[in-house]
Amino acid sequence: MENIYNYRLEELKEYFKNINEKEFKAIQVYEWLYKKRVKSFDEMTNIKKEVIEKLKQDFKIEPLKILKKQIDTDVCKYLFELEDKNKIEAVLMKHDYGNSLCVSTQVGCNMSCAFCESGRLKKVRNLSSYEMVLQILEVEEDLNIRISHVVLMGIGEPFDNYDNVMNFIDIINEPKGIDLGARHITVSTSGLVPKINEFAANPKQVNLAISLHAPNNEIRNKIMPINKAYPIEKLIESVKNYLNKTNRRVTFEYIMLKDINDKVENAIELSRLLKGINCYVNLIPYNETSHIEYKKSEKEQILKFYDTLKKNNINVTIRKEFGKKVSAACGQLRSNYEEEK
Ligand code: SAH
């Protein structure tokens, strides 16, 4: 039996057509699920009894289980348990422009980035679209808030689960449903070049962020094994192709790792690499974890790096630091939980 939150509106219309019911029932169901947020088919009072019974036979409507929650002033971190007992995380961040949810896309991750906690657990499986949709619904209900922005920066590599991720985006973008604007959704990738090319053909105005983290192949190979398959030249080429097709500004994420990638000369090299590309660089103070030896760059060093990019006409911001108290680095909550047990 499939979970109802896996269905795009179009697919649900198709379903009703196939059981000889009017297509608009799909819209009614969508409104019950996403506008009124009911949790059972019985609550869908404008749908007739036989149809409700049929829906119950064909679909599950189960929520995710909140296993653990850590709250700080501007951040709230969730550990969810899935039906098969696998665990994933989502992080809610309160910005001045709204509430942003960082959503997981896989159980574990195969990218093996040296600095990242998530990759300590290799990929167990992809998440279904409904498991991503429910991260949003559960957090909104639990905190009694509306989420205005979604970033696919939790556990997993979104482009290694491309179809489910794109389906998820369609579901949450649907005006009859959650109605999250495409421009408020950001997909972050470690650099799967063929998928970046595929994504460039997507007509929706979803944002793209690239986890670059290094100005050259020598450094990037050391911290991101994916770079051996898709080196920086190829990555930049695919970003240029994306820009040609979409004309949407790309974000490059750059984690500041002490003595690894944070020298002024690295900033100069990065400026050369990104010259003329419609982008901005988001400098991310590294979130240290007990299992990995990398250290975060000194504040001063981050500022020097920032200034160097600015001087070279690269748009740059320094990411606000969230959740030090709540182990907000990707994958930290899950791995701490496993250790406590
Ligand atoms: N796999 C995708 C999305 C998930 S990771 C990607 O690589 O983009 C989301 C972002 O968090 C990436 O930029 C990743 O490099 C970064 N990240 C991972 N561990 C981190 C840590 N400990 N501190 C700060 N950022 C981290």
Residues 190-245: pLDDT tens digits? 999 999 999 999 989 999 999 999 999 999 999 999 999 999 999 999 999 999 99
pLDDT exceeds 80 at position 296: yes
**HSE, side-chain direction, 13 A CA sphere, residue 212:** 32
3-state DSSP assignment of residue 108: coil
What predicted TM-score, i.e. pTM, was given to this entire model? Answer: 0.95
State the average pLDDT over residues 252-267.
98
95 vs 71: CA distance, rounded Å: 15
Percent of the chain with pLDDT over 90: 88
How far CA 24 is from CA of 167, 176, 224, 248, 311, in Å, comes to 21, 11, 48, 34, 56
Q: Which two tokens stand for residue 235?
A: 């990555």
257 vs 297: CA distance, rounded Å: 5
Query: What stretch(es) of the chain map to CATH 1.10.150.530?
Result: 2-60
341 vs 177: CA distance, rounded Å: 38
284 in contact with ligand 1, CB cutoff 6 A: yes
Beta-carbon count within 10 A of 21 CB: 17
Using an 8 Å Cβ cutoff, are 211 and 188 in contact? yes
Q: Amino acid identity, residue 80?
A: F
- List the residue whose alpha carbon is closest to atom 15 of ligand 1: 211
Neighbouring-strand partners of residue 161:
none
137 vs 127: CA distance, rounded Å: 16
Q: Which atom of ligand 1 is nearest to the CA of 210?
A: 8
How would you classify the pairing of strands 75-81 and 65-71?
A: antiparallel
Nearest C-alpha neighbor of 189 from the set 213, 215, 206, 208: 208
Using an 8 Å Cβ cutoff, are 146 and 136 in contact? no
Question: Does 331 or 25 have the greater pLDDT score?
Answer: 25
58 vs 53: CA distance, rounded Å: 9
Query: What stretch(es) of the chain map to CATH 3.20.20.70?
Result: 65-340
pLDDT of residue 232: 98
Residue 113 is a catalytic residue: no
Write out pLDDT tens, residues 148-160.
Answer: 999 999 999 999 9
Q: Which two tokens stand for residue 311?
A: 């001087």
> Which CATH entry fits the domain spanning 65-340: 3.40.50.2300, 3.40.470.10, 3.40.50.300, 3.20.20.70?
3.20.20.70
Nearest C-alpha neighbor of 113 from the set 215, 193, 223, 218: 223
> What HEC string does 152-182 produce?
ECCCCCHHHHHHHHHHHHHHHHCCCCCCCCH
109 vs 176: CA distance, rounded Å: 33
153 in contact with ligand 1, CB cutoff 6 A: yes
210 in contact with ligand 1, CB cutoff 6 A: no
pLDDT of residue 92: 96
| Fold that domain 2-60 belongs to in CATH | DNA polymerase; domain 1 (1.10.150)
127 vs 89: CA distance, rounded Å: 12
* Contacts of 6 by beta carbon, 8 Å cutoff, 6+ apart: 128, 129, 130, 133, 167, 171
Residue 89 is a catalytic residue: yes
190 in contact with ligand 1, CB cutoff 6 A: yes
- Average pLDDT, whole number, for the chain? 94
161 vs 74: CA distance, rounded Å: 30
pLDDT of residue 73: 85
Confidence of residue 251 (pLDDT cuts 50, 70, 90): very high
| Active-site annotation holder among 102, 113, 279, 330 | 330
Mutating to test ligand 1, I would choose from 121, 190, 192, 288 the residue with most ligand atoms within 8 A of its C-beta, which is 190
pLDDT of residue 340: 63
pLDDT of residue 328: 57
329 in contact with ligand 1, CB cutoff 6 A: yes
168 vs 7: CA distance, rounded Å: 9
Mutating to test ligand 1, I would choose from 75, 110, 113, 251 the residue with most ligand atoms within 8 A of its C-beta, which is 113
Using an 8 Å Cβ cutoff, are 259 and 268 in contact? no
Q: Which two tokens stand for residue 187?
A: 């997909």
